Amino acid sequence: MTQGTAEILSSAELMAEYRSKRLPIVTQKLQFEGVEGRDVYNITAPFEDDGELVIAGRVENRDTEYSDVLFFTCQDGTWRPRTSARVFRNLQDPFVTRIRGQLVFGGVEVWPNPIDPNRIEYRTAFYRGDNVEDLRLFAVGPQYMKDIRLIELPDGRLGVFTRPSGSGYGFGKIGFTTIGDFDDLTPWAIAHAPLIQNCFVDDEWGGPNELHLLSNGLIGVLGHIACFDSQGNRHYRSMVFSFDPVSRATSQIKVIASRDDFEPGAAKRPDLVDVLFSGGLVRRPDGMAELYAGVSDAEAHKAVIVDPFIEYEH
């Protein structure tokens, strides 16, 4: 596979391909308590911290974009805030990974524009530490960039996936670069990551949500692909593709789940009903995988699907 061989398909084409091969999916709405009636969505997959499974989730009132990120543990099938964990204020869309033995955590930091309080400013913030209680800020991304993700490569370098948008990039493309160490994760390095080709048609967008190092050295990218319809409604689907960090070759994007795979539920706004935002994926030894996702910007669900990365390892 060489760079440029992956075909660029629209969301409509990808969805038609997905529907033609769709298998029944077992799904479950996750239950949360202890959040004072606020919504929990755009969660991470569960990860182990000090011997306990933990989920980070975006916690938000229905009428605002200003959210907190809380860490939850599961008791009797219900997720409740971990009382010992810090609450990350004014942070959206958490993500976690492990690099060089450390927990790396981040999200989208938001604050009001000092001139126009109705406008939200944002950037990605990165924290690391030995565990959830030890997380310390170590880097921030460029202003107005979400969906920046890190992965430890086999040679010890760090891979950085980016999502530039705006002038020349439309609603959002995906870039990739490598750095030597955490200290090299600067706004300049992130902003100058070369684009990955063959991701989205010009009037659509997407981004990486979680990265998996595959057995053959490729990177399995879990992400989302999105578009507007003629009425201005947003349509987000969970997708994956493989990426070779050496040759920069990519596979064709494939949709792995859509909103209508999951049970009906609440939505933040009418234009966000058809939104499925990939949070994380747990690969299982039985060839299946658990997909954790935010649904309609109001709920968190889980689906059991065929492991979408297996085909890239053969």
Q: 């684009």: which residue's tokens?
A: 195
| Pairwise CA distance, residues 294 & 219, whole Å | 23
With respect to residue 4, please indicate whether it lies within any of the assigned structural domains.
no
With respect to residue 6, please indicate whether it lies within any of the assigned structural domains.
no
Give the chain's domain count. 1
For the chain, give percent helix, strand, coil, nearest 5: 10, 45, 45
With respect to residue 222, please indicate whether it lies within any of the assigned structural domains.
yes
The mean per-residue pLDDT over the stretch 34-55 comes to: 97
With respect to residue 251, please indicate whether it lies within any of the assigned structural domains.
yes
Dihedral angle computed from the Cα positions of residues 150, 154, 155 and 161, in that order, rounded to the nearest 10 degrees: -20
With respect to residue 157, please indicate whether it lies within any of the assigned structural domains.
yes
The string of pLDDT tens digits covering residues 203-251 is: 999 999 999 999 999 999 999 999 999 999 999 999 999 999 999 999 9
- Rounded to whole angstroms, the maximal C-alpha distance in the chain is 54
The range of the structural domain enclosing residue 26 comes to 11-313
Q: Compute CA distances 88 → 30, 53, 104, 137, 180, whole Å.
A: 21, 19, 14, 11, 28
Q: Looking at this protein, which amino acid is placed at residue 249?
A: A
Q: Is the pLDDT of residue 284 over 80?
A: yes
Q: Please give the model's pTM, rounded to 2 decimal places.
A: 0.96
Q: By CB neighbour count within 10 A (0-12 exposed, 13-18 middle, 19+ buried), where does 60 fall?
A: buried
Closest C-alpha to 14, from 235, 208, 179: 235
Which pLDDT band holds residue 5 (cuts at 50, 70, 90)?
Answer: low
| Pairwise CA distance, residues 147 & 150, whole Å | 10
The mean per-residue pLDDT over the stretch 265-278 comes to: 98
CB–CB of 240/310 below 8 Å? no
With respect to residue 2, please indicate whether it lies within any of the assigned structural domains.
no
- Helix (H) or strand (E) holding 21, with range, is helix 11-21
Q: Is the pLDDT of residue 13 over 60?
A: yes
The string of pLDDT tens digits covering residues 62-102 is: 999 999 999 999 999 999 999 999 999 999 999 999 999 99
| Pairwise CA distance, residues 109 & 118, whole Å | 16
CB–CB of 53/74 below 8 Å? yes
With respect to residue 267, please indicate whether it lies within any of the assigned structural domains.
yes
| Pairwise CA distance, residues 6 & 9, whole Å | 9
Find the CATH number of the domain harbouring 264. Answer: 2.115.10.20
Q: 């669900």: which residue's tokens?
A: 301
With respect to residue 182, please indicate whether it lies within any of the assigned structural domains.
yes
